[in-house]
Structure 1
Amino acid sequence: MKFQLKNILAVVAIACALTSCSNDDDTKITGEGNLKVEFDNIFGGANLILDTQINTTSQSENLKISQVKYIISNIVLTNADGTTFTYPKSESYFIVDEATLSSQVLDLANIPAGNYTKIKFGIGVDQEQFNLGATGQGNFLATAQDAGMMWSWSAGYKFVAFEGTFTSPTVAADTSFMVHTGQTGTAYNYTEVTLDLPENALVRTNITPQVHILTDVAHIIDGTNKINLSNNNMGGMGAMIMGGANLPLITANLSNMFEIDHVHND
């Protein structure tokens, strides 16, 4: 009798353990939630202030920046289980403008609940989208035109617009500069960035995480590739970089312009 009782208790214990494990496995994250992605522009280690702040490059050039705009596109999130979620392409084009605070936080909706570990995004408008033609751009074409982020339809989008004035050891008076990236001839100059999150973004039906990204705009001309504005000075027109040999170097710099500062899960 004692033997039978021990066997029965053992079976019950095993059954309980299996039920517990099953219940744990069945507790899955479900539903959809939202995610905010904030782009916080800096120059070196300092918060970026337009028009008045003097920003010094490693080339001893002093910049007063009047405009920073860039297109963020094609957002893809990687979950802790290795699966990915691609934000709907038709809704995945944004213009971040330092002069417009509301543009600096992207509100992403209807994201499957999960524990997200990475974010990937493009800088600019991918060639596949551009090849859809003017009628295939949806509302974003008008948005880009209104924001001054088009050269023209035939010339295409400006991916990055970086403007202001500068002085240098060889240029004493404040001189204007304009750096615009985008399609030039056969070079499209679109690039993508993948960033690891320092902690998971916990998207839930009742939690909207915010991913805080620092964008160091110094990298545009003062990254791995050093671009000297003085060498591009065209006299009365100022320093203008919108093509030529410097543009692919600047595009390569952009991949190191972004860094995750922190993630809020509240």
Structure 2
Amino acid sequence: MKLQLKNIIVALTIAIGLTACSNDDSSGEVTGNGTLELKFDNTYGDADLIFNAPYTNSNGEVVKINKAIYIISNVVLTKEDGTTFTVPKEDSYFFINEEDAISSYVTISIPDVPAANYTKVSFGVGVDEAQFLQGQEGQGNLLERAQAIGMTWSWAAGYKFVRMEGTYTSSIATDDTVFMVHTGKTGEIYNYAQIEVDLPDQALVRANITPQVHIMADLQQIIDGTTVINFDEGTSVMGGSKVQSIMANNVPGMFHVDHVHND
């Protein structure tokens, strides 16, 4: 009897162990959909971006930022096998507004992402030509959202892709002088920038795992990157070759992924 009872206990122990293993395995199954978060952390060079803090550029101008907004669009996630998941375009326009930052981050939450291991994220800065040409009817509530935070032009049709404002001083401008940098479509040039960033660790999207991809955005690059903007030469940068240079040369260098949390 004792031997029979012992055998029953052993059998139960094995069954419980197998059940536990089975549950562990099922919790990691790469099936179904989950959510992925992109957390944008704005910096100025190596420093956290703080409104009205002084930052010195390579040309000696000292800037203080008090407004920073840019449009992130057309998010595409690349899996480890090279295939991609494209967020539906109508659901893929986001405003990264520093005023909305919580604990330094502005978070984009992307639902209904197929479970997979993701290795890259690509996105646009601005509104692409195809979407712009659809007009207001093809853009959902994008126009209303943009108007509410000053991301449309008052003197022309279209969206502001990047809006950065503040004051600066220099050897010439010894008092705080207001500057504005607004980028967007200029003439027939859309100035839309396409970005692709590699993930240092895979983002493991599961039904029970929501990866957080921490993207650093260095706003110094907008005016002090490959192309250097000198405000002594003009404090309103809103069109022409300067905007084209910012979007083509500077904005693509703004972004990198610092780390990934798989929680």
Task: State the distance in 2 between where 1:152 and 1:112 align.
Answer: 40
1:127 pairs with 2:123: no
Q: CA RMSD in A?
A: 1.6
The counterpart of 2:141, out of the listed 139, 142, 157, is 139
Are the aligned partners of 1:134 and 1:153 in contact in 2 as well (CA < 8 Å)? no
1:255 pairs with 2:257: no
SS at 2:153 equivalent? strand
Match of 2:43 in 1: 42
SS at 2:233 equivalent? helix
Task: State the distance in 2 between where 1:246 and 1:142 align.
Answer: 28
Match of 1:104 in 2: 106
Task: State the distance in 2 between where 1:152 and 1:136 align.
Answer: 21
Task: State the distance in 2 between where 1:259 and 1:82 align.
Answer: 20
Task: State the distance in 2 between where 1:100 and 1:58 align.
Answer: 29
SS at 1:250 equivalent? helix
What's the offset of the Cα at 1:28? Answer: 6.2
What's the offset of the Cα at 1:57? Answer: 0.4
Match of 2:66 in 1: 66
Amino acid at match of 2:92: S
Is the deviation greater in 83-92 or in 135-144?
A: 135-144
Task: State the distance in 2 between where 1:153 and 1:196 align.
Answer: 38
Task: State the distance in 2 between where 1:153 and 1:141 align.
Answer: 15
**Once superposed, which parts of structure 1, at least 4 consecutive aligned residues long, lie more than 3 Å away?**
none
What's the offset of the Cα at 1:153? Answer: 9.0
Match of 2:232 in 1: 230
> Structure 2 length as normaliser, TM-score?
0.86
Write the deviation string for residues 141-189 of structure 1: whole angstroms up to 9, x where unpaired: 1101101101149520000000000001111111000000000111110
> Structure 1 length as normaliser, TM-score?
0.85
Match of 1:92 in 2: 92
Write the deviation string for residues 19-45 of structure 1: whole angstroms up to 9, x where unpaired: xxxxxxxx9621100000000000010
Aligned-residue sequence identity (percent) comes to: 52
SS at 1:106 equivalent? strand
Structure 2 unpaired stretches of 5+: 1-27
Cα distance change of structure 1 residues 168 and 64 upon mapping to structure 2, 3 Å threshold: same
Task: State the distance in 1 between where 2:116 and 2:155 align.
Answer: 39
SS at 2:75 equivalent? strand
Structure 1 unpaired stretches of 5+: 1-26, 233-238
Match of 1:177 in 2: 179
Match of 2:120 in 1: 118
What's the offset of the Cα at 1:135? Answer: 1.7
1:155 pairs with 2:157: yes
What's the offset of the Cα at 1:227? Answer: 1.2
Are the aligned partners of 1:156 and 1:182 in contact in 2 as well (CA < 8 Å)? yes
Amino acid at match of 1:55: Y
Write the deviation string for residues 196-221 of structure 1: whole angstroms up to 9, x where unpaired: 00000000010000000010000001
Amino acid at match of 2:72: I
Task: State the distance in 2 between where 1:155 and 1:188 align.
Answer: 12
Number of aligned positions between the proteins: 234
Task: State the distance in 2 between where 1:73 and 1:111 align.
Answer: 16
